[in-house]
Structure 1
Amino acid sequence: MKKLVATGKTVEEAVRNGLNQLGVDRDRVNVAVLEQPSKGLFGLIGAKEAKVELELRPDGVEEAIAFLREATAAMQLKVNVEREDDHDQVLINLTGSDLGILIGRRGQTLDSLQYLTNIVANRHSDKHLRIVLDAEQFRLRRRQTLEALSDRMAGRVVKTRKEVVLEPMSSQERKIIHARLQSHPQVKTYSQGDEPHRCIVIALK
Structure 2
Amino acid sequence: MKVVEKTGKTVEEAVGQALQNMGVSIDDVEVEIIEEPTKGILGLFGAKPARVKVILKEGASEKAVDLLNNIIKSMNLQVELDVVEKKDFLTINLKGPELGILIGRRGETLDALQFLVNLSVNKNKEVRRKIIIDVEGYRHRREETLQKLAVKLANKAKQRGRSVVLEPMSSQERRIIHTALQGRDDIYTFSEGDEPYRKIIISPKK
Structure 2 length-normalised TM? 0.86
CA distance in 1, matches of 2:12, 2:39: 14
Task: Kindly report which structure 2 residues correspond to 1:98-137, keeping only aligned pairs within 5 A, or say none.
Answer: 98-123=98-123, 125-137=125-137
Q: Does 1:203 align with 2:203?
A: yes
1:181 aligns with 2:181: yes
Q: Deviations over 1:23-82 (max 9, x none)?
A: 5443211234533485987x9765644422323333233122111001011111111112
Letter in 2 for 1:154: A
Match of 1:123, SS? coil
Q: Which amino acid aligns with 2:6?
A: A
Which residues in structure 2 correspond to 1:42-191 (within 5 Å)? Answer: 48-123=48-123, 125-191=125-191
Q: For residues 74 and 190 of structure 1, what CA distance do their matches in structure 2 show?
A: 41
Aligned length: 204
Listed as ranges, the gaps of 5+ residues in structure 1 are none
Partners in 2 of 1:85 and 1:39 — Cα distance? 50
Which one-letter code corresponds to 2:36 in the other structure? Answer: E
5+ residue gaps, structure 2: none
Deviation at 1:146, TM superposition (A): 0.3
More moved, 140-149 vs 43-52: 43-52
User: What is the rounded CA distance, in whole Å, between the counterparts of 1:100 and 1:124 in structure 2?
Assistant: 32
Partner SS state of residue 168, structure 2: coil
**1:77 is paired with a residue of what secondary structure?**
coil
RMSD: 2.5
Q: Distance in 2 between matches of 1:198 and 1:132?
A: 22
Confirm whether residue 35 of structure 1 aligns to residue 47 of structure 2: no
Q: Is the 8 A contact 2:192 2:198 kept in 1?
A: yes
Residues 67/100 of structure 1: CA separation in 2 closer, same or farther (3 Å cut) = same
Change (3 A) 1:39 1:175: same
| Alpha-carbon distance change, 22 to 40 in structure 1, aligned in 2, over 3 angstroms | farther
Q: Secondary structure at the match of 2:122?
A: helix
Per the TM alignment, residue 15 of structure 1 is displaced from its structure 2 partner at its CA by 2.0
Q: Secondary structure at the match of 1:87?
A: coil
Identity in percent: 45
Does structure 2 retain, via aligned residues, the 8 Å contact 1:192–1:201?
yes
